[in-house]
Amino acid sequence: VSESTRAQPGADSAPTIEDVRSAAALLSAVAVPTPVLTSAALDRRTGAAVAIKCENLQRTGSFKFRGAYTALARLGASERERGVIAFSSGNHALAVATAARDHDTTALIVMPADAPAGKLASIADLGARVVTFDRYTDDRFALTARLAAEHGLITIPPFDHPGVIAGAGTTTLEFLEQTGGLDTLVMPLGGGGHLAGAGVVKAAESRATRLVGVETAAGDKTRQSLRAGRRVRIPVPRTIADGVTGEIPGELTFAVNRRLLDDVVVVDDLEILAAMAWLFQETKLVVEPTGALGVAALLAGRVEVSGQRVGVVVSGGNIEPRRFHALTQSVPIRGQDQVVPVDTPT
């Protein structure tokens, strides 16, 4: 019996590597083993060998499906039958609604009223019910708890849950297998579930891999919390990265991340937009603001990676064409304003 299986984890304990492995086995039938791309241009910019893990090509358009599906699968049959409830800025909502449909149960989704219309429409298409809240005034936790109690629903939290973290960890398990090993792994950092999952995998399988989380400059709750040595609550950050607008790291996720996360760096909104435009142009990938945090940090030179094998996760691509354009239209694009030496035939 290995050390990690000796103690049976309870519902409030961090998952073990075995939990991540069993999530990977479960997901192998339903999730996309997302492709890993490389970019000569990114390698030149960073002086590293960079592998890009495309979780924007995951089912539901983000890595969130991994955690939501795993959490629903781990429910008992009678719990699952009652239906589930989730609050989310969008991607977790899509993931829970899809996982609920996969499991033949119902989902009630609590969403910010200003979530992109396309996300609301997709949720409704999946057969879920939607309740909206004001992201700057309502207490979404209290609202979700009240609705859960009233309707007897099981809450599937977006990150602070062992099943969700175990599912999220499968991204890293898969990425390490696909690349054969990484010196540094750079990922967007929101509530901390994706990185906590990465930490569990790192601790068991790849101790030497440096884990770097990327936050927005306006929403560096985990950076502040790590410095303070405890979970720090920040004001709701105003940023274009609508997937990482939480005020405080998760309890479970922070417990893992304070042990296993090696560094947190930040990028500002303009750097995120530049990364989105760069990803569009150079890699042909549609990436939403939050999904581009890792690449933004690499392009801005915020992580020391020269000479290394680097992995960066693109975590989601749920953005409508019009919003993508509205956000990125003022980013300078190579070629548009560049003078190219051209010969005219004479």
The residue ranges that bind a copy of itself (CB under 8 A) are 32, 35, 37-38, 40, 54, 56-57, 59, 61, 116-124, 129-133, 138, 143, 146-147, 277, 280-281, 283-287, 317, 320-322, 324-325, 328-329, 331, 333-336, 338, 340-345
User: Shortest Cβ distance from residue 43 to a copy of itself (Å)?
Assistant: 12
277 vs 299, beta carbon nearer a copy of itself:
277
Q: How far apart are CA 246 and CA 158, in angstroms?
A: 11
4 vs 281, beta carbon nearer a copy of itself:
281
DSSP state of 94: H
69 vs 324, beta carbon nearer a copy of itself:
324
User: Shortest Cβ distance from residue 303 to a copy of itself (Å)?
Assistant: 24
153 vs 260, beta carbon nearer a copy of itself:
153
Q: What distance lies between CA 216 and its chain's CA centroid?
A: 13
Q: Which helix (H) or strand (E) holds 250?
A: none
User: Shortest Cβ distance from residue 175 to a copy of itself (Å)?
Assistant: 14
Q: What distance lies between CA 92 and its chain's CA centroid?
A: 9
Question: Which residue in the block uniquely carries the two structure tokens 């009223």?
Answer: 113
User: Shortest Cβ distance from residue 96 to a copy of itself (Å)?
Assistant: 16
3 vs 337, beta carbon nearer a copy of itself:
337
Burial of 251 (0-12, 13-18, 19+ CB in 10 A): exposed
35 vs 152, beta carbon nearer a copy of itself:
35
56 vs 253, beta carbon nearer a copy of itself:
56
Q: How far apart are CA 24 and CA 87, in angstroms?
A: 24
User: Shortest Cβ distance from residue 21 to a copy of itself (Å)?
Assistant: 24
User: Shortest Cβ distance from residue 120 to a copy of itself (Å)?
Assistant: 4
Cα–Cα distances in Å, from 241 out to 97, 124, 271, 334? 22, 23, 11, 24
Determine the length of the chain: 346
Burial of 109 (0-12, 13-18, 19+ CB in 10 A): buried
* Residues 98 and 119 sit within 8 Å (Cβ to Cβ): no
Phi, psi of 133 (to 5 degrees): -140, 165
